Amino acid sequence: MGNEVSLLTPYKMGKFHLSHRIVLGPLTRSRSYGNIPQPHAIVYYSQRASNGGLLINETTGVSDTAQGYDINQMEQHPYPAQTRRSKMSLPLKVILRLTVAQQERYLKLSMTLDLLQGMPLKLFMKESANDRTDEYGGDLENRCRFPLQLVEAVVNEIGGGRVGMRLTPFMDFMDCWELDPEALGLHMVQSLNKHGVLYCHMIEPRMSMDEARRQTPHGLQNMRQAFNGTFIASGGYDRDEGNKAVAEGYVDLVSYGRLFLANLDLPKRFRLKVQLNKYDRSTFYTSDPVVGYTDYPFLEDCNESMNEH
């Protein structure tokens, strides 16, 4: 009793000392105008920062024709101290544009390769979306070749201890499906091991659009066991399911998307076991710099009329 690992138990992820295991998952919020991050993004991430907490930023693009953030603009708007005390992870697509000096600055933190459905790397991997006949198409090994070459290139630049990967082998919308998603996931995590990748971040197979689901059937167990680094799971977790997954050793860290989006002080709310703000789906991707973005109330600002979640 008393020794049980929970979401609030510190964790050492490679050289990063995390003070808790509640991670902000990558969330595209569509608030960069002209693909340039704005000062309100700083407010947004600062609000969600906690000392020693891991934040995974939304993605950024590798070229002018790819959507995302402009790294030069990020130089002009450096994150304030409070956010810097969190561990920020910038999902890749930007690495190819970084100068050595910029790399040193950002990669003190870490880099995530985001293989979300519909994104270019994912289109290589999934058999429904890849009809190539060269060495980048066909069997599993060929389809994973390009993403893994990219992993290797990034690892060679910054070291595996600063690289993370998000994998979604079980997600099949946007026409990206796989007959044997577990084989794909296993092949990827085994390959990531060879590169000493810091963390693997996967979405639960049963992550669904059904907001009522509060059961996690450990569908990532085999990948978790096969991966040597830090394992992060995402998809429908609430406080209790997160604590359970961590206590059972099923995951090292749990990432939260919608709950963290609407509860900028989520670790504190979990610690105090208090009510949660409800998220407003209608403002997930709208462009207003405040509404649905930085105007979710802190716990202290919540009034009594707020409904229990």
Ligand X SMILES: Cc1cc2nc3c(=O)[nH]c(=O)nc-3n(C[C@H](O)[C@H](O)[C@H](O)COP(=O)(O)O)c2cc1C
- Where does this chain bind ligand X (CB under 6 A)? 25-28, 58-59, 114, 116, 166, 203, 207, 234-237, 256-259, 284
The residue whose Cβ lies closest to ligand X is: 257
Nearer to ligand X among residue 89 and residue 131 (C-beta): 89
Q: How far is the CB of 155 from ligand X (least distance, A)?
A: 20
The answer to whether residues 257 and 234 touch, using CB atoms and an 8 Å cutoff, is yes
Smallest distance, Å, CB 11 to ligand X? 19
| CB of residue 119 to ligand X, shortest distance in Å | 8
Tell me the closest approach of the beta carbon of residue 68 to ligand X, in angstroms.
Answer: 10
Pairing label, strands 163-167, 110-115: parallel
The residue (of 56 and 98) whose beta carbon lies closer to ligand X is 56
Tokens of 273: 């076991």
**Smallest distance from ligand X to CB 166, Å:** 5
Residue 84 tokens, joined? 């810097």
- Nearer to ligand X by C-beta: 81 or 209? 209
As a whole number of angstroms, the distance between CA 130 and CA 28 comes to 25
Helix axis angle for 145-158 and 181-194, nearest 10°, is: 30
Sign of CA dihedral 201, 205, 211, 212: negative
Q: Which is nearer to ligand X, 142 or 218 (CB)?
A: 218
Whole-angstrom distance, CA of residue 197 vs CA of residue 151: 8
Place of tokens 């996967």: 202
CB of 61 to ligand X, least distance (A): 12
In the structure encoding, which two tokens stand for residue 218, read together? 């450990």
Closest CA to 98 of 56, 70, 79, 65: 70
